[in-house]
Structure 1
């Protein structure tokens, strides 16, 4: 696979994972389609490796999420989506109309970025913030479409 960056092989090795063509293809698909769901990722992988099963692709995604090689997000009303941007403290903006997802930096800048007045004894290490709105393309379409 000539389109796979060399660092993906190193990334897998550092995570203690074997380097396989399906794993490289899944990482490449996630890189090429940030915030995509598993269906889009599977279609992309199968363009490169037609014999890879959907289950193998799902297994790769789950393994990568568990080992923090990819981040899995799941906005309300949406299936899981995947991205390579991990290890920083960013959040997401989701369009209510078309479902587009984009990264936004944390307004506070440090994890977990939200401090509750009562943690109920939990050791909080992460807060997930999703901003909802309407993207510029959908706003423009609404202005020109008949109501």
Structure 2
């Protein structure tokens, strides 16, 4: 059984094509890393390494880190940096979505772009600022998920909005 078990064949074919288009060989290791991140969205590098090593026990943790970096460079993975956490990886790329993080349990959920198209935000430039053409906006929402709110009623506030 390979690490791509449980991943639709069409997805593996798309990854293979994208790897070739980026000048990379299609290897079991690369596909295993992609599958590990696909099956565990917002995985840390260590999470991905653990999953990959369950199927490919001889791969080194360093190799997984190198593959993660390479797959990020060629835009097959997205690296997200969340507050108070190691970098995380996901296969949802190319759509400028954002993330909501529960400050209680650490769960991370994807949040679609606030206005439906990139870059989601138009900056209010400070006087004298050197303006830029914004291509990507990184928004991180932080709060308590419903499970954590239910478990700790003292964190509920009257201004909670659904």
Find the counterpart in structure 1 of residue 26 from structure 2: 19
Moved more, 113-122 or 42-51: 113-122
SS in 2 for 1:72: strand
SS in 1 for 2:64: helix
Deviation by residue 1:94-132 (Cα, 9 ceiling, x = unmatched) = 000111001011111121111113262333211100111
Find the counterpart in structure 1 of residue 144 from structure 2: 134
Asked if 1:92 corresponds to 2:99, the answer is yes
Structure whose alpha-carbon radius of gyration is higher:
2
Moved more, 89-98 or 9-18: 9-18
Using the size of structure 1 for normalisation, the TM-score is 0.90
1:30-109 matches, within 5 Å, as 30-109=37-116
- Give runs of ≥4 in structure 1 deviating > 4 Å: none
Find the counterpart in structure 2 of residue 125 from structure 1: 135
Q: Which runs of 5+ in 1 are unaligned?
A: none
Cα RMSD, aligned residues only: 1.7
SS in 2 for 1:92: strand
Using the size of structure 2 for normalisation, the TM-score is 0.82
